[in-house]
Amino acid sequence: NAGVTQTPKFRILKIGQSMTLQCTQDMNHNYMYWYRQDPGMGLKLIYYSVGAGITDKGEVPNGYNVSRSTTEDFPLRLELAAPSQTSVYFCASRSGHLNYGYTFGSGTRLTVV
């Protein structure tokens, strides 16, 4: 019963490098989300997807890209890492039914130096 799995758990990037944060869920959830969490700032929505092949911008999408080729996977791409992207990133999913609770992954802590 894996739920939402994120990899890696930690990563240090140099400015200008790129990387992909992986997110996989095994609950057949339609909706998936990427959030970033900065200290004392709560969770900010980066991108979301309502199903395979459909993605849309959230509150803070600049500097990020996503794709949703399958129901299970929702990777987040950073193309040119900047110090402002130092944060903890959480992937979440929920079903399409009347269930408003998101299931979160355990997070990826990213540091850009």
Partner 1 sequence: GQQLNQSPQSMFIQEGEDVSMNCTSSSIFNTWLWYKQDPGEGPVLLIALYKAGELTSNGRLTAQFGITRKDSFLNISASIPSDVGIYFCAGQPLSGSARQLTFGSGTQLTVLP
d(C-alpha 79, C-alpha 12), whole Å: 14
Residue 27's alpha-carbon distances to 41, 64, 73, in angstroms, are 29, 25, 11
* Per-residue binder mask for partner 1 (CB under 8 A), 17-56, x = binder: --------------x-x-x----xxxx-x--x-x-----x
Angle at 109 between CA 57 and CA 61, to 5 degrees: 15
Q: DSSP assignment, residue 2?
A: -
- Residue 73 CB, nearest approach to partner 1 (Å): 17
Told to check if 64 binds partner 1 by CB under 8 A, we report: no
> To the nearest whole angstrom, how small is the minimum distance from the Cβ of residue 41 to partner 1?
6
* Among 83, 106, 111, 113, interactor with partner 1 by CB under 8 A: 106
Alpha helices in the chain (DSSP H): none
Give the footprint of partner 1 on this chain (CB under 8 A): 4, 31, 33, 35, 40-43, 45, 48, 50, 56, 58-59, 90, 92, 94, 100-107
